[in-house]
Every structure is written in C-alpha cells, then in structure tokens.
Amino acid sequence: MIVSAYAAPSATEPLAPTTVERRDPGPHDVQIHIEYAGICHSDIHTARSEWGPARYPLVPGHEIAGVVTAVGADVTKFEVGDRVGVGCFVDSCRECAACRAGEEQYCERGMIGTYNAVGRDGEPTQGGYSTHIVVDEKYVCRIPEGIDLAEAAPLLCAGITLYSPLKHWNAGPGKRVAIIGLGGLGHMGVKIAHALGAEVTVLSQSLKKMEDGLRLGADHYYATSDPDTFKTLRGKFDLIVNTVSANLDMHQYFSLLAIDGTLVEVGLPEHPVPVNVFDLCRNRRSFAGSMIGGIAQTQEMLDFCAEHGLGAEIEVIAADRINEAYERVIASDVRYRFVIDTATLPAVAQ
C-alpha cells in the first residue's frame, strides 16, 4: 500500500510531503492506521545526521498511536479496531539472551529501529510521520482505554525511556530523584517518578516552567543557571536522570549525588561527554545509561500510566508545521511534546 508521509530528503533540507510503500500484512503482522505521531528530539538528531549519516529519504517518528485496520492470519494478540502503539523498534533477533529476557532494545544483533534501519525484508524502515504502518504483533503494544491516543503517543518513547530507569534504580517512597531538563522526556519523568512515590526535583535552565513542573508532580524546582542551586543541592540526590539533548558540564551534576547515588544518562547529545573520575570515586557514585525499554515493560508502563491517569502534555500540530516544531524543540520551546495529527497529511490517490 502506498501511504502519505513526511520525510527529510537530506540532513540539511526541511521535511516535505512524500509517499512510502507499506508491505501487505504477513501472517504475524498488524496493519495500523496511525492517528498521532509524537516528535522526539531523537527524530531531529537522526534527520540531521547528528548521530552519524542517516538513510534518506527518512520518515522519522517512533511515538506511534493508532488503530488496527488489518491483521495477518496467525495474529493472536490484536483484532481490527484495537487501539495500539509502536515505539522505537519494530523487530529484533528474538533469540539472543537480551531478546529472550524481554530486553529487545539491547538485542545482541541490534534491534531494528522503527526508522533509519533495514527490516527483515531487506527494505528500509520508515517511521510514524505517516498514515499507516505494518508491524509484527510482537512489537506492538496495547493502549489501554482511558488514555487519549494523542496523549498516549509520546509514552511509546518518552514514557518508557523514563519509566525503565526509574524502575531499575528503584525510584519510590523515600528516594530523592532529580530530573534534568523539562522537555518531552523530562516531563514524563516528573509525572512517573511522582506516581511511583519518589520526592521529585526538576533541574531546568530557568524558572520559566516552574508552575508547570510543580503541577506535573515535582516537589521542588531549581534553575541550573543560578550557581546557588549547586551549593544548595550538594549531595542531595539518590538518583538523577539527565534528559538533556545538549552537552552539559557533568562535574556540577555529579556533585549533587549522595553517597551511592546514580546519575543515569538518557539524553544523547551529539558529542562525547567528558567525565572526571574523581567525581565518581567521591561518594562512591555511579554514572549509568539507559535506552528506552523492552516490549513487556512498555506494556507495563502503558498500563501504569492508564492506572494513574498519566498521559503526555501535548501540542497537536498539522503535518505542515513539523519543520517549525523542530526549531521550537531545539529552542526548548515545547510544552511538552509536539504530536502530529496524521489526518493532516496530504491524501494519496490509491
């Protein structure tokens, strides 16, 4: 099926309308009508080849929410009409220890990204800025009733990327958790850490978004542009999750960790991050990283969000505003996720 999409033609050109071909559903595939696709900062890093050369034309989008429109003969998990989501990957080897443990994002042979990868069929994968996608049912999650589809879309990347480390490092009652950066990932971190019962602090560049941060569930809010912040908060946190898309001076942030505290990096800036190991030896601190989450945990996160009434705070946009939205994300002018309404993609004659 030929479907409408928006693609980056190269690293330096704006995204523009195009079409992509989606395969006919195989026995284990579900065909999904995408209703909403979130704009993740990773889409921008990739579209602009900031993480190395991307494959063009590139249709980004790995925060996909929609409805099943067809199922293959052997599909057991889904039926036509089900509300579903697809995140950052659409396949993996299914055999390695990571895949067997449900940590497909760490597949030893490499997960197959929702875009900028090559699928099992040898064709380039193309993402969610598009009206339809066909995905093996194993890599599709159910979006529970009670979460609006537009607000659910960002959970498929931003939501799981914060839920997974917060669970892994036991965010909960009695834990002092800081989230650096109140953007798409950060605002979900605040909501989820608060729902898990942790004491949550936002570390943002300024106090401009303080009212929002406190409303989303933060107990405290500090500006990192104020040098007093680093004096006041010295040694105060058990867990810090850094969601910032740009390079930060980590020395200052390590100083905020308590004994045995961990700073988890989920932001993926373009350039390497220098670390002074003295900052880690002092207070027996850990510096860790985390990447999205497996399919089972993504489903757990969606169910958790439904149970706690959590969705993303979104601004729904028409497809012709994608390029403008990219500029606003880069300028940290987003509250807190742009979501594309795919009904605004140009119609395609079938």
Cβ closest to ligand NAP, residue 304 vs residue 338: 338
Q: Is 107 in the site for Zn ion (CB under 5 A)?
A: yes
- Who's near 231: CB < 8 A, 6+ residues apart? none
Task: Pick one of ligand NAP, Zn ion, none as the site partner of residue 107 (Cβ within 5 to 8 A by kind).
Answer: Zn ion
Could you tell me the smallest distance in angstroms from the CB atom of residue 103 to ligand NAP?
Answer: 13
Task: Pick one of Zn ion, ligand NAP, none as the site partner of residue 170 (Cβ within 5 to 8 A by kind).
Answer: none
Helix (H, G, I), strand (E, B) or coil at 223: strand
Q: Phi and psi dihedrals of 323, rounded to 5?
A: -65, -40
Rg of the chain in Å (alpha carbons): 20
In the 8-state DSSP scheme, what is residue 160?
H
Could you tell me the smallest distance in angstroms from the CB atom of residue 18 to Zn ion?
Answer: 21
Cβ closest to ligand NAP, residue 325 vs residue 345: 325
Candidates 37, 157, 166, 306; binder of Zn ion (CB under 5 A) is 157
Cβ closest to ligand NAP, residue 59 vs residue 266: 266
- Stretch (H or E) spanning 69: strand 64-71
Binding site for ligand NAP (CB under 6 A): 40-42, 45, 157-158, 161, 181-186, 204-205, 209, 243-246, 248, 266-269, 291-292, 329, 332, 334
Question: Binding to Zn ion (CB under 5 A): which residues in 19-78?
Answer: 40, 42
**What is the Cα–Cα distance from 110 to 96, expressed in whole angstroms?**
10
**What is the Cα–Cα distance from 54 to 47, expressed in whole angstroms?**
7
- Who's near 11: CB < 8 A, 6+ residues apart? 47, 48, 49, 53, 54, 56
Cβ closest to ligand NAP, residue 75 vs residue 322: 322
The stretch among 73-81, 100-108, 220-228, 276-284 that binds Zn ion (CB under 5 A) is 100-108
Whether the CB-CB separation of 319 and 347 falls below 8 Å is answered with no
Task: Pick one of Zn ion, ligand NAP, none as the site partner of residue 193 (Cβ within 5 to 8 A by kind).
Answer: none
In the chain, the amino acid numbered 296 is A
